[in-house]
Amino acid sequence: MTRRDRQRLDDVLAAIDAIAEHLGRGDLHDGLVFDAVRVRLIEVGEAVKAISSDLLATEPEIPWAQVAAMRDRLAHRYFDTSHAILAATVEGDLPQLQAAARRLLQRAGPA
C-alpha cells in the first residue's frame, strides 16, 4: 500500500466519522445536516477515486465504482439529490465501507 493510499483511506474514515457527528446533531430532514452529510459523501468518493484500483480489488464486495460515481452525482447534480438515497447510503452502505477501509488499513500494518 502506498502512502497516498493510506492517506486516502484515512480521509474516507475521517469523512465517515464526520457524518456520524453531523447526524448526532439532527437527521437528514434538517437542511444543514443534509448538506453537511452530502459534502462528506463527496469527500468519500473523491478519496476513493485516488486509491489504487489494485488495492480496492482486495475488497470486491464494495462497489467502489459506484462510490466514485455517487461523488460525481452529488457534486454535479446537487439539485437532484434524493433524501431517500442519501439516507439509504448512510444507513446501509457506510458501515460496510467503513469496515472495508479499516480492513485495508489493518492489512497494511503500521505506517
Catalytic residue positions, numbered: 71, 76
Which string of DSSP letters, residue by residue, matches the chain? --HHHHHHHHHHHHHHHHHHHHHHH--TTSHHHHHHHHHHHHHHHHHHHTS-HHHHTTSTTS-HHHHHHHHHHHHH-GGG--HHHHHHIIIIIHHHHHHHHHHHHHHH---
Report how far Cα 62 is from the mean position of its chain's Cα atoms.
11
